Amino acid sequence: MLTFITDASAFTELQRAAYLSSAAYSGCKDTAFDVTITKQIHDFITDTQGYIGYSEEKKRITVVMRGSTSPTDFFNDLDTILVKPNISGVDFPPEAKIMSGINIPWSAVHDEVITEVKRLVDQYPDYTLESTGHSLGGALTYMSYIALAQNFPGKELTGNALAAFPIGNKEFSNFGASQKGTLNRGNNALDGVPNMSFMDQEPH
């Protein structure tokens, strides 16, 4: 289920997402607010970064993706060629396509993310799942949300994509919106990035 936030009802959730996303930029090692970090995500070639952990306070397993900070990140932001995604555990519709600049960095860390989340799910079976990120990290959150929904279909899932730009075509957007869970999009009113559209990309 895709939720468009037009009032303050989800402020607490989005505020939490902003805190967790800011920690991805600052390079927190052991904890990020209430999250105990169990794994740092860092693919050297694609510069895909973030962290995975768990919150005893919220009883959640958390995946956070970092936004753009390097020339490699900015190159990915601009790599808008649409390609068919192919990642383990996800059955995309035949016509679904996403930006190459999102497909390449997410594919580089997907298996690593799923493996660590599975380990934490085994350790904390009653915890729910959450994914978040800002800007490029928010765009990668669209992928992490789908990946978690498809690989852990029995788990309650919340995604918060902050200032994220559209990354795929209509078929991809519809597929993301059909996942079991809640995906919130948090945008600043005057931020143009989330409203950018290239080629056949569809707003998510």
- Residue at 115 is within a domain: yes
Give the domain extent around 151: 33-190
Find the CATH number of the domain harbouring 171. Answer: 3.40.50.1820
- Residue at 71 is within a domain: yes
pLDDT given at position 189:
57
CA distance 145 to 199: 23
Q: Does the predicted TM-score (pTM) go above 0.85?
A: yes
CA distance 29 to 153: 29
Helix/strand/coil (H, E, C) string of 129-190? Answer: EEEEEECHHHHHHHHHHHHHHHHCCCCCEEEEEECCCCCECHHHHHHHHCCCCEEEEECCCC
Interaxial angle between packed helices 71-78 and 100-123, expressed in degrees from 0 to 180 and rounded to the nearest 10: 110
At 168-181, the pLDDT tens digits run 999 999 999 999 99
- Residue at 125 is within a domain: yes
Q: Is the pLDDT of residue 197 over 60?
A: no
- Residue at 167 is within a domain: yes
